[in-house]
């Protein structure tokens, strides 16, 4: 201890610190700014406020997002606007051109990677600067996975899980839209109620797996008989409703007969089945419920008349 007492204060402090080196670690230095930036999930950028969206600054994480290295963007050989999906460019430009961009913007859109893959990104930022020296500064996040999950859930919420056609919820929404359009413009509208005949016997005789195949086949024939903007929906076990947009009673009856013949003309799912169809055309003042009710009453008239036939409501 005499040696220690004879040292200057600075040397003594260094020596005492060294004595504890085997039991304590010195505090780590705080991370550098570049290290903090690298830890941010996503891509930080600064872009020009035009459709090209040239990047004066972008973090190296851009490579993992789109397959293009950061220097390609920094030198202008690549630009954010150029990798934005062409179907989304106008929407992105409109959002960035709004006065609110100075407060902040949040846009979801698609980009194309260097190998042609489509990815969804969330783009959050704001416009900064003064006069003509303006920049958009923001953060890009890859949301491809969450977007795909969201679209899957949205599809399931509006489509029948077995056949893939619209479900009752989607049909109800479309019925309201189309009846309102017909009331406003007088556009013809026709509803068909389609029901597989003796379907319980199909399940009892051949099993539910076969019954499911029959329903899938019927749904496919219905979709194949109508136009892409018409609506085919499964509303019950073996019950379907078809909305024919811009079609009146006469044409609707002809199409219904074609559908009936298509189902009865060959086996559905490996089983011979037929279908009864009720047809009703929209009339002024019809609510969605009134239109479907008249088609449903026509369907039961077809059932009572011997099945495998079309009846059109008066």
Cα–Cα distance for residue pair 198/50, rounded to 1 Å? 64
Q: How many residues does the chain have?
A: 314
The separation between the first and the last C-alpha atoms of the chain, rounded to the nearest angstrom, is: 115
Query: Which residues are part of the catalytic machinery?
Result: 238
Rg, the chain, Cα only: 33
Which residue, 35, 71, 33, 36, is CA-closest to 55? 71
Distance CA 235, CA 192 (A): 12
Among residues 285, 38, 54, 289, which one has the least CA distance to residue 182? 285
**Alpha-carbon separation of residue 262 from 218, 224, 225 (angstroms):** 9, 10, 9
- Side by side, the strands of the sheet bearing 189-196 are 231-234, 239-245, 189-196, 275-281, 310-312
Return the number of other C-beta atoms located less than 10 Å from residue 256's C-beta. 28
């Amino acid at each position: 201890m005499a040696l220690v007492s004879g040292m200057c204060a600075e040397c003594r402090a260094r020596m005492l610190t060294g004595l504890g080196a085997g039991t304590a670690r010195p505090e780590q230095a705080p991370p550098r700014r570049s290290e903090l930036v690298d830890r941010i999930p996503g891509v930080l950028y600064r872009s020009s406020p035009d459709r090209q969206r040239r990047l004066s600054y972008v973090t190296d994480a851009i490579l993992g997002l789109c397959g293009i290295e950061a220097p390609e963007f920094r030198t202008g050989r690549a630009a954010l606007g150029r990798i934005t999906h062409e179907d989304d460019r106008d929407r992105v430009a409109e959002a960035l051109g709004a006065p609110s961009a100075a407060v902040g913007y949040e846009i979801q859109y698609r980009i194309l990677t260097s190998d042609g893959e489509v990815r969804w990104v969330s783009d959050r930022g704001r416009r900064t600067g003064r006069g003509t020296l303006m920049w958009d500064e923001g953060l890009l996040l890859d949301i491809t996975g969450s977007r795909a999950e969201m679209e899957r859930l949205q599809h399931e919420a509006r489509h029948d899980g077995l056949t893939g056609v619209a479900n009752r919820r989607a049909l109800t929404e479309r019925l309201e839209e189309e009846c309102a359009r017909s009331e406003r413009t007088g556009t013809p509208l026709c509803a068909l109620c389609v029901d597989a005949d003796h379907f319980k016997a199909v399940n009892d005789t051949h099993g539910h797996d076969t019954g499911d195949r029959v329903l899938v086949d019927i749904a496919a024939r219905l979709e194949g008989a109508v136009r892409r903007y018409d609506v085919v929906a499964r509303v019950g076990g073996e019950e379907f409703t078809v909305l024919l947009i811009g079609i009146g009673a006469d044409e609707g009856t002809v199409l219904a007969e074609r559908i009936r013949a298509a189902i009865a003309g060959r086996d559905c799912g490996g089983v011979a089945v037929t279908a009864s169809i009720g047809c009703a055309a929209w009339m002024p003042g019809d609510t969605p419920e009134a239109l479907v009710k008249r088609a449903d009453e026509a369907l039961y008239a077809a059932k009572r008349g011997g099945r495998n036939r079309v009846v059109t409501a008066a």
